[in-house]
Amino acid sequence: DAGVTQSPTHLIKTRGQQVTLRCSPISGHKSVSWYQQVLGQGPQFIFQYYEKEERGRGNFPDRFSARQFPNYSSELNVNALLLGDSALYLCASSLRGVNTEAFFGQGTRLTVV
């Protein structure tokens, strides 16, 4: 079975631009979460979606938005990019529930110049 897939793997954008990152969860997983990992730190929670509805949002500005599609894939959008948005963006899928493990994709490395 395919794991969590993310695209693209690397991306370079200019300040002020907009970016869309994509994630396909493991088949059967209806919960998708997004995390931002700045170099040298642990991942920080951005969003969680379950059954196409937002179920949680981290402490990120409104420039960050996401959605989940009927096939449970997800997109993360970031508008008006800042240099500080440069990071590894990780997508994780899981079965719904508190005591479940998360399966992570390999991430998208975003560089804002």
Partner 1 sequence: SQQGEEDPQALSIQEGENATMNCSYKTSINNLQWYRQNSGRGLVHLILIRSNEREKHSGRLRVTLDTSKKSSSLLITASRAADTASYFCATVLYTDKLIFGTGTRLQVFP
Q: Which residues bind to partner 1, rule: CB under 8 A? A: 4, 31, 33, 35, 37, 39, 41-45, 48, 55-56, 59, 88, 90, 92, 94, 96-107
Which is nearer to partner 1, 12 or 17 (by Cβ)? 12
Closest CB 110 distance from partner 1, rounded Å: 13
Closest CB 18 distance from partner 1, rounded Å: 24
Which is nearer to partner 1, 78 or 105 (by Cβ)? 105
Closest CB 56 distance from partner 1, rounded Å: 5
Q: Do residues 4 and 104 lie in contact, with contact meaning Cβ atoms separated by under 8 Å?
A: yes
Using alpha carbons, select from 45, 18, 19 the residue that is nearest to residue 32. 45
Sheet holding 19-24, edge to edge: 5-7, 19-24, 74-78, 64-68
Q: Do residues 88 and 44 lie in contact, with contact meaning Cβ atoms separated by under 8 Å?
A: no
Which is nearer to partner 1, 7 or 17 (by Cβ)? 7
Specify whether the backbone of 7 is left (phi greater than 0), alpha (psi in -120 to 50) or beta.
beta
